[in-house]
Amino acid sequence: MRILVCIKQVPDSEGIVTIDKSTGWIDFEGPYRMNRFDEFALEEALRIRENMAVDSIDALSVGPPRAESTIRKALEMGASRGIHILTEERTDISAFETASLITLFVKKEGYDLILTGVMAEDDMQSQVGPMIAEMLGYPSASSVICEGIDREKGTLYAEREIEAGTRECIEMKLPVLLTIQSGINRPRYPALSNVLRAKRQEITTIPSHTLQKTEKREKIVRLRYPEAPSKGIFLEGNEEEKAGFLLQILHEKSII
């Protein structure tokens, strides 16, 4: 059993995002980290390995040089091998391009199970996972909240969350791609021994241009800030004054 986990490095939501007027692209000031949904996916792979013989858990990221730190984090958590499909710094690579690059890699390597997060926290497209599955002809299920593998039958059972608590139950033939929903597990903190091992470990780096190039299917027309939609009023004063003001408003609207 070989498992691939696709991870994305995302900007931390605490950081400051601005549009660079000269390039029309993003300027980001702040830390980057692993997409939380991908942490759940990686943790799920590690748990599968605790219950059955798994030959390898490979963590792959498509991204600029800085994405290496996120791949290293995956190794610290317990991935067996790190793979970096290296792109240029500007990160306007589309879901279709990312999926095409990962697919080319998977075709060479062959995996029984591919896991990704249900979406990236930053852009929330939910596209890359299902696109990889389609390109490979694998069955796929998104928003998976529990799964089990039957090695003898070569099948995987998954439950996907469709709306608050309601689940769809699916049986699929391996190889399978799953996109993992948050809450499926509790991602672990790396063990010290893994942290030390990860420091020394080689990461396989593949420049994206050495793989086949694909054309974008969507054009970015422009970036803009959200319209200042806040019709909202910021209440002023100290805590107590704000509390009083809020109660007064709710009272005037006959809510209290």
Partner 1 sequence: MKGTMKKRQIAVIAEHRNGVLTPGTLETLSFARELERLLSLETKIIIVGKSIGNLAYDIAEMTGMDIIGIEGENFKFYNCEAYLAALEKPLKELDPAYICTPHSAMGYDFAPRLAVRLKASCITAVEKIGKKEKSVIFSRSQWNGKIILEMEPVAERGVITVLPGSWPELDERPERTGEVTIIRTVTETKNSRTTEIKEAKRTDFDLTKAEVIVSAGKGLGKEENLPIIYKLSELFPKSAVGASRAACDAGWFDYGHQIGITGKTVSPKLYIACGISGSTQHISGMKGSQMVVAINTDPAASIFSVADFCIVEDLATFIPCVIEKYHKLFSLHKESE
Site string for partner 1, 76-95 (x = CB under 8 A): -------------------x
| Residue with Cβ nearer partner 1 (69 or 214) | 214
Site for partner 1 in 180-219 (CB under 8 A): 181-183, 216-219
80: closest CA among 69, 90, 71? 71
Residue with tokens 């800085």: 66
Say whether residue 250 binds partner 1 (CB under 8 A): yes
Site for partner 1 in 152-171 (CB under 8 A): 159-171
Contact residue for partner 1 among 93, 135, 203, 206 (CB under 8 A)? 135
Say whether residue 148 binds partner 1 (CB under 8 A): no
Contact 131, 115 (CB under 8 A): no
| Residue with Cβ nearer partner 1 (75 or 131) | 131
Phi, psi values for residue 135, rounded to 5°: -65, -30
Say whether residue 39 binds partner 1 (CB under 8 A): no
- Closest contact distance (angstroms) between CB of 198 and partner 1 is 25
Contact 99, 131 (CB under 8 A): yes
Token pair for 129:
């996972």
Say whether residue 52 binds partner 1 (CB under 8 A): no
Token pair for 176:
């399978």
Contact 76, 188 (CB under 8 A): no
Token pair for 3:
């498992």
